[in-house]
Structure 1
Amino acid sequence: MLENHRRALRGVLGSFATGITVLTAGRELPRGMTANSFTSVSLDPPLVLVCVLRTAALHDLVLDEKAFAVSVLAAGQEPIARRFADRARPRGAREFEAVDTEPGRRTGAPILSGALAWLECGLEAVYDGGDHSILLGAVLDAGRGPDTDALLFYGGAFHRLAPSTV
């Protein structure tokens, strides 16, 4: 696809508002990344999917560990979303510096403190998605955080919900 077509497609896809998550994996040397390609698949059995760029540092770690966690970000967590989207962020042990987390009970993957909700998943299947892998996760554990607004992504920028006028 030509670059100008990619830009146009990115603009079209940016017309769909999404929530923002940080995906994490790893007990010993965890990794994380910001993602908005997260969705529920099934309640019975409980399944979710996430799409991860094949060249992302998190990608192979999830495949090796066969587990990952999803933290759904709250409106006040935009700095965390930006941090884990920054390709120049510190790597290794410093990647989670100044970010409060707790290890997941089932996977050991970091769960972000203050997240609106979180899920721990076992890797159920991996599907080809072009330059991404589509990761199907079986939900092992899940919970909710503070009762607050969600962080949203729309039109290439972060937003929060506005009160309904209807």
Structure 2
Amino acid sequence: MQTEHRADRDAYRRAVGRFATGITIVTTRRDGADYAMTVNSFASVSLDPLLALFCVEKIARFHDAVLETGVWGVSILSDTAEDASRFFAHRGRPLEGQLAGHPHHHGELGVALFDDALATVECRTAAVHDGGDHSIVVGEVVAVATPADGAPLLYHEGRYRRLSG
């Protein structure tokens, strides 16, 4: 279906910014190095089979690493983890030692998972779809945990938010 009018990119960004999202850090491990990236485009896809997805920008160094390894972990952040979210959203940080100061362990698939996450999910890539300047990575869920209680860290209209009440 074609449309005659194209939506303005900035208007679209403002509109989808009104959709509140949770914040995650997605990780993989390649050649002994941990890769990590802040992601708010994470979603549950299916309960039968268990599937989840996230989107990754094609120019990010994480993109090639996660496609090569075929395994990834998701740490769903609590509202106390804004500093970690900001750090792992920053481009160009050194790979070596980036997880220092962020308590974590390596899960069943060898990927880093944050100890204070509200929940963790480990996946094997089942499919990768083109999504314009991003790839949509769909994974079969192989392990889940709920290591900590608390309220989620949210992102809405370009700002970190917390649940009230």
Q: What residue number does 2:128 align with?
A: 126
Alignment match, 2:4: none
Q: Are positions 1:38 and 2:42 aligned together? A: yes
Secondary structure in 1 aligned to 2:126?
Answer: strand
CA distance in 2 between partners of 1:66 and 1:73 (Å): 23
Matched, 1:15 2:18: yes
In the alignment, the residues of structure 1 paired with residue 38 and residue 9 of structure 2 have an alpha-carbon distance, to the nearest angstrom, of 21
TM-score (norm 2): 0.92
Distance of 2:54 and 2:158 partners within structure 1: 19
Residue 94 of structure 1 deviates from its aligned partner by 2.1
- SS at 1:74's partner residue? coil
Measured in 2, the distance between the counterparts of 1:97 and 1:66 equals 24
Distance 2:42 2:160 in 1: 16
Opposite residue 80 of structure 2, the aligned amino acid is G
Task: Determine the structure 2 residue equivalent to 1:102.
Answer: 105
C-alpha deviation, 1:97, in angstroms: 2.0
SS of residue in 1 equivalent to 2:63: helix
Matched with 1:64 is: 68
In 1, Cα distance between the equivalents of 2:35 and 2:138?
Answer: 18
In the TM superposition, 1:87-98 aligns within 5 A as 87-89=91-93, 91-98=94-101
> Are 1:75 and 2:79 matched, yes or no?
yes
Identify the residue that residue 161 of structure 1 maps to in structure 2.
Answer: 163
Distance 1:104 1:39 in 2: 20
Deviation at 1:98, TM superposition (A): 1.3
Across the two proteins, how many residue pairs are aligned to each other? Answer: 158
Q: Distance in 2 between matches of 1:98 and 1:9?
A: 37
Choose the corresponding residue for 2:88, options 84, 87, 97: 84
1:26-46 per-residue CA deviation (whole Å, 9 max, x = no partner) reads 051011110100100001110
Q: Indicate the SS of the match to 2:80.
A: helix
Shift of 1:8: 2.0
The Cα of 1:9 is off from its aligned counterpart by: 1.6
Structure 1 vs Structure 2: percent identity of aligned residues? 41
User: Any stretches of 5+ residues in structure 2 without a counterpart?
Assistant: 1-6
Q: Give 2:147's aligned residue.
A: 145
